[in-house]
Amino acid sequence: MPASSPIIVALDYPEAAAAQAMAQQLDPAQVRVKVGKELFTRSGPAVVEALQKLGFEVFLDLKFHDIPNTVAGALRSAAALGVWMVNVHASGGRRMLEASAEALAGVSHRPLLTAVTVLTSMGQDDLADIGITATPQEQVLRLAQLAQRSGIDGVVCSAQEARMLREACGASFCLVTPGIRPAGADAGDQTRIVTPPEAQALGVDYMVIGRPITQAKNPTAAVADIIQSLTANA
Ligand SMILES: O=c1ccn([C@@H]2O[C@H](COP(=O)(O)O)[C@@H](O)[C@H]2O)c(=O)[nH]1
Protein backbone atom coordinates (compact mmCIF):
# COMPACT_ATOMS: atom_id res chain seq x y z
CA MET A 1 0.00 0.00 0.00
CA PRO A 2 1.45 3.45 -0.88
CA ALA A 3 2.54 5.69 1.99
CA SER A 4 -0.21 8.03 3.20
CA SER A 5 1.92 11.18 3.47
CA PRO A 6 3.99 13.06 0.86
CA ILE A 7 7.13 12.66 2.98
CA ILE A 8 10.20 10.92 1.57
CA VAL A 9 12.84 10.49 4.28
CA ALA A 10 16.39 10.91 2.94
CA LEU A 11 18.51 8.14 4.45
CA ASP A 12 21.87 9.85 4.05
CA TYR A 13 24.09 7.47 6.00
CA PRO A 14 27.52 5.96 5.33
CA GLU A 15 26.42 2.44 6.26
CA ALA A 16 23.45 0.19 5.70
CA ALA A 17 23.09 -0.67 9.39
CA ALA A 18 22.49 2.98 10.34
CA ALA A 19 20.03 3.46 7.48
CA GLN A 20 18.10 0.34 8.43
CA ALA A 21 18.06 1.34 12.10
CA MET A 22 16.50 4.68 11.11
CA ALA A 23 14.04 2.98 8.76
CA GLN A 24 12.89 0.76 11.62
CA GLN A 25 11.80 3.90 13.48
CA LEU A 26 9.65 4.90 10.49
CA ASP A 27 6.35 3.51 9.22
CA PRO A 28 6.12 2.47 5.54
CA ALA A 29 2.38 3.13 5.71
CA GLN A 30 3.23 6.80 6.35
CA VAL A 31 6.48 7.63 4.53
CA ARG A 32 8.73 6.57 1.67
CA VAL A 33 12.52 6.51 1.91
CA LYS A 34 15.31 7.81 -0.31
CA VAL A 35 18.65 6.13 -0.94
CA GLY A 36 21.22 8.57 -2.24
CA LYS A 37 24.82 8.57 -3.34
CA GLU A 38 26.44 8.21 0.08
CA LEU A 39 24.50 5.10 1.07
CA PHE A 40 24.30 3.45 -2.35
CA THR A 41 27.99 3.91 -3.13
CA ARG A 42 28.89 2.06 0.05
CA SER A 43 26.09 -0.47 0.37
CA GLY A 44 24.71 -0.96 -3.14
CA PRO A 45 21.56 -2.83 -4.16
CA ALA A 46 21.53 -4.85 -0.92
CA VAL A 47 20.41 -1.87 1.12
CA VAL A 48 17.63 -1.11 -1.36
CA GLU A 49 16.43 -4.68 -1.05
CA ALA A 50 16.60 -4.55 2.76
CA LEU A 51 14.48 -1.38 2.85
CA GLN A 52 11.96 -2.90 0.44
CA LYS A 53 11.74 -5.95 2.70
CA LEU A 54 10.83 -3.59 5.54
CA GLY A 55 7.91 -2.48 3.37
CA PHE A 56 9.21 0.85 2.03
CA GLU A 57 8.89 2.27 -1.45
CA VAL A 58 12.39 3.46 -2.35
CA PHE A 59 13.42 6.58 -4.29
CA LEU A 60 16.86 5.79 -5.73
CA ASP A 61 18.33 9.30 -5.89
CA LEU A 62 21.48 8.81 -7.97
CA LYS A 63 20.87 11.82 -10.26
CA PHE A 64 22.35 10.21 -13.36
CA HIS A 65 24.18 12.71 -15.58
CA ASP A 66 26.18 11.27 -18.47
CA ILE A 67 25.93 10.62 -22.19
CA PRO A 68 22.51 9.29 -23.32
CA ASN A 69 23.58 5.67 -23.80
CA THR A 70 25.20 5.46 -20.36
CA VAL A 71 22.26 7.05 -18.57
CA ALA A 72 19.80 4.78 -20.36
CA GLY A 73 21.74 1.71 -19.19
CA ALA A 74 22.01 3.01 -15.64
CA LEU A 75 18.25 3.57 -15.54
CA ARG A 76 17.54 0.04 -16.74
CA SER A 77 19.81 -1.26 -13.96
CA ALA A 78 18.01 0.92 -11.42
CA ALA A 79 14.59 -0.24 -12.62
CA ALA A 80 15.68 -3.86 -12.20
CA LEU A 81 16.00 -3.14 -8.46
CA GLY A 82 12.25 -2.55 -8.29
CA VAL A 83 12.59 1.00 -7.00
CA TRP A 84 9.64 3.37 -6.91
CA MET A 85 11.40 6.45 -8.31
CA VAL A 86 14.67 7.17 -10.12
CA ASN A 87 16.14 10.42 -11.41
CA VAL A 88 18.54 12.10 -13.81
CA HIS A 89 19.89 15.65 -14.16
CA ALA A 90 17.77 17.69 -16.59
CA SER A 91 20.91 19.62 -17.53
CA GLY A 92 22.08 16.46 -19.31
CA GLY A 93 20.03 17.85 -22.19
CA ARG A 94 17.20 16.85 -24.48
CA ARG A 95 18.81 13.79 -26.07
CA MET A 96 19.79 12.39 -22.66
CA LEU A 97 16.29 13.00 -21.30
CA GLU A 98 14.64 11.35 -24.30
CA ALA A 99 16.97 8.36 -24.00
CA SER A 100 16.03 8.14 -20.30
CA ALA A 101 12.31 8.04 -21.04
CA GLU A 102 12.82 5.48 -23.81
CA ALA A 103 14.98 3.28 -21.58
CA LEU A 104 12.15 2.84 -19.11
CA ALA A 105 9.34 2.64 -21.65
CA GLY A 106 9.29 -1.13 -21.85
CA VAL A 107 10.26 -2.19 -18.35
CA SER A 108 7.84 -4.01 -16.08
CA HIS A 109 7.11 -2.17 -12.80
CA ARG A 110 8.36 1.04 -14.39
CA PRO A 111 9.61 3.49 -11.73
CA LEU A 112 8.60 7.13 -11.79
CA LEU A 113 11.27 9.07 -13.67
CA THR A 114 12.11 12.58 -12.50
CA ALA A 115 14.74 15.12 -13.51
CA VAL A 116 16.69 17.42 -11.20
CA THR A 117 16.37 21.05 -12.29
CA VAL A 118 18.43 23.41 -10.09
CA LEU A 119 19.72 21.88 -6.86
CA THR A 120 17.97 23.34 -3.82
CA SER A 121 21.36 24.19 -2.34
CA MET A 122 21.93 26.67 -5.17
CA GLY A 123 20.98 30.33 -5.35
CA GLN A 124 21.53 33.09 -7.88
CA ASP A 125 25.27 33.43 -7.10
CA ASP A 126 25.86 29.69 -7.52
CA LEU A 127 24.23 29.80 -10.95
CA ALA A 128 26.37 32.81 -11.91
CA ASP A 129 29.50 30.82 -10.90
CA ILE A 130 28.68 28.24 -13.58
CA GLY A 131 27.87 30.81 -16.22
CA ILE A 132 24.09 30.80 -15.91
CA THR A 133 22.67 34.31 -15.87
CA ALA A 134 19.03 33.22 -15.48
CA THR A 135 17.38 33.39 -12.06
CA PRO A 136 16.82 30.04 -10.29
CA GLN A 137 13.11 30.34 -11.17
CA GLU A 138 13.83 30.93 -14.85
CA GLN A 139 16.33 28.08 -15.02
CA VAL A 140 13.98 25.68 -13.20
CA LEU A 141 11.16 26.54 -15.61
CA ARG A 142 13.38 26.08 -18.66
CA LEU A 143 14.63 22.67 -17.48
CA ALA A 144 11.20 21.47 -16.30
CA GLN A 145 9.63 22.28 -19.67
CA LEU A 146 12.49 20.55 -21.46
CA ALA A 147 12.05 17.50 -19.23
CA GLN A 148 8.30 17.41 -19.83
CA ARG A 149 8.72 17.70 -23.61
CA SER A 150 11.24 14.83 -23.43
CA GLY A 151 8.81 12.42 -21.76
CA ILE A 152 9.96 12.72 -18.13
CA ASP A 153 7.28 12.28 -15.43
CA GLY A 154 8.26 15.22 -13.26
CA VAL A 155 11.05 17.22 -11.69
CA VAL A 156 13.04 17.71 -8.53
CA CYS A 157 12.90 21.41 -7.62
CA SER A 158 12.34 23.67 -4.66
CA ALA A 159 8.77 24.12 -3.44
CA GLN A 160 9.46 27.81 -4.12
CA GLU A 161 8.98 26.96 -7.80
CA ALA A 162 5.98 24.64 -7.35
CA ARG A 163 3.18 27.10 -8.09
CA MET A 164 4.90 28.32 -11.26
CA LEU A 165 5.49 24.73 -12.45
CA ARG A 166 1.91 23.65 -11.70
CA GLU A 167 0.68 26.41 -13.97
CA ALA A 168 3.27 25.74 -16.68
CA CYS A 169 3.34 21.93 -16.65
CA GLY A 170 -0.11 20.90 -15.39
CA ALA A 171 -1.59 18.87 -12.57
CA SER A 172 -0.13 15.48 -13.48
CA PHE A 173 3.51 16.63 -13.69
CA CYS A 174 5.19 15.24 -10.56
CA LEU A 175 6.88 17.82 -8.29
CA VAL A 176 9.43 16.37 -5.85
CA THR A 177 10.81 18.94 -3.44
CA PRO A 178 13.85 18.73 -1.19
CA GLY A 179 14.97 21.78 0.79
CA ILE A 180 12.07 21.28 3.19
CA ARG A 181 12.62 22.74 6.64
CA PRO A 182 10.10 22.86 9.50
CA ALA A 183 9.91 26.39 10.97
CA GLY A 184 13.04 27.14 12.98
CA ALA A 185 15.03 24.15 11.67
CA ASP A 186 18.64 24.64 10.60
CA ALA A 187 18.88 25.22 6.84
CA GLY A 188 22.35 23.65 6.68
CA ASP A 189 23.61 23.76 3.09
CA GLN A 190 20.14 24.32 1.61
CA THR A 191 19.32 27.71 0.07
CA ARG A 192 15.81 27.56 -1.45
CA ILE A 193 13.93 26.27 1.60
CA VAL A 194 10.21 26.00 2.38
CA THR A 195 8.30 24.70 5.43
CA PRO A 196 6.15 21.55 5.07
CA PRO A 197 2.76 23.35 5.33
CA GLU A 198 3.90 25.99 2.84
CA ALA A 199 5.09 23.31 0.42
CA GLN A 200 1.74 21.57 0.75
CA ALA A 201 -0.10 24.83 0.02
CA LEU A 202 2.11 25.43 -3.01
CA GLY A 203 0.97 22.11 -4.47
CA VAL A 204 4.00 19.82 -4.31
CA ASP A 205 3.53 16.05 -4.70
CA TYR A 206 6.41 14.89 -2.50
CA MET A 207 8.62 16.46 0.17
CA VAL A 208 12.13 15.08 0.59
CA ILE A 209 13.21 15.56 4.20
CA GLY A 210 16.51 14.34 5.60
CA ARG A 211 18.32 15.92 8.54
CA PRO A 212 15.26 17.49 10.22
CA ILE A 213 14.07 13.89 10.74
CA THR A 214 17.23 11.77 10.80
CA GLN A 215 19.12 14.10 13.15
CA ALA A 216 16.14 14.74 15.42
CA LYS A 217 16.38 13.45 19.00
CA ASN A 218 13.19 11.50 18.29
CA PRO A 219 12.78 10.86 14.54
CA THR A 220 9.40 9.14 14.99
CA ALA A 221 8.08 12.21 16.79
CA ALA A 222 9.63 14.52 14.17
CA VAL A 223 7.69 12.69 11.43
CA ALA A 224 4.50 12.77 13.50
CA ASP A 225 4.90 16.53 14.06
CA ILE A 226 5.36 17.19 10.34
CA ILE A 227 2.36 15.04 9.42
CA GLN A 228 0.33 16.85 12.06
CA SER A 229 1.39 20.24 10.62
CA LEU A 230 0.19 19.06 7.18
CA THR A 231 -3.13 17.76 8.49
CA ALA A 232 -3.75 20.97 10.41
CA ASN A 233 -3.27 23.01 7.24
CA ALA A 234 -5.07 20.68 4.79
O1 LIG B 1 17.99 19.67 -5.42
C2 LIG B 1 18.16 18.74 -4.60
C3 LIG B 1 18.17 17.41 -4.99
C4 LIG B 1 18.32 16.44 -4.04
N5 LIG B 1 18.49 16.74 -2.73
C6 LIG B 1 18.64 15.64 -1.77
O7 LIG B 1 17.58 15.72 -0.80
C8 LIG B 1 18.06 15.43 0.49
C9 LIG B 1 17.82 16.61 1.38
O10 LIG B 1 18.30 16.34 2.67
P11 LIG B 1 18.19 17.40 3.87
O12 LIG B 1 18.98 16.76 4.96
O13 LIG B 1 16.72 17.52 4.19
O14 LIG B 1 18.78 18.69 3.42
C15 LIG B 1 19.53 15.06 0.36
O16 LIG B 1 19.62 13.65 0.29
C17 LIG B 1 19.94 15.63 -0.99
O18 LIG B 1 20.91 14.84 -1.66
C19 LIG B 1 18.51 18.05 -2.36
O20 LIG B 1 18.68 18.39 -1.16
N21 LIG B 1 18.32 19.02 -3.30
Considering 37, 53, 63, 217, which one is annotated as catalytic?
Answer: 63
Separation in Å, CA 187 to CA 68, 120, 195: 34, 11, 11
The type of residue at 228 is: Q
The type of residue at 209 is: I
For residue 91 and ligand 1, the question of a CB distance below 6 A is answered with no
Spatial distance between the Cα atoms of 150 and 90, rounded to a whole number of angstroms: 10
Residue minimizing CA distance to atom 2 of ligand 1: 119
ipTM: 0.99
Binding site feature residues: 12, 34, 61-70, 120, 181, 190, 210-211
CB neighbourhood size of 41 (10 A): 10
CA dihedral 160, 166, 167, 168 (to 10 degrees): 90
For residue 226 and ligand 1, the question of a CB distance below 6 A is answered with no
Q: How many residues does the chain have?
A: 234
For residue 154 and ligand 1, the question of a CB distance below 6 A is answered with no
Q: pLDDT tens digit string along 114-154?
A: 999 999 999 999 999 999 999 999 999 999 999 999 999 99
Q: pLDDT tens digit string along 57-97?
A: 999 999 999 999 999 999 999 999 999 999 999 999 999 99
Say if residue 233's pLDDT is above 90.
Answer: no
Residue minimizing CA distance to atom 1 of ligand 1: 119
Spatial distance between the Cα atoms of 144 and 6, rounded to a whole number of angstroms: 20
Spatial distance between the Cα atoms of 110 and 52, rounded to a whole number of angstroms: 16
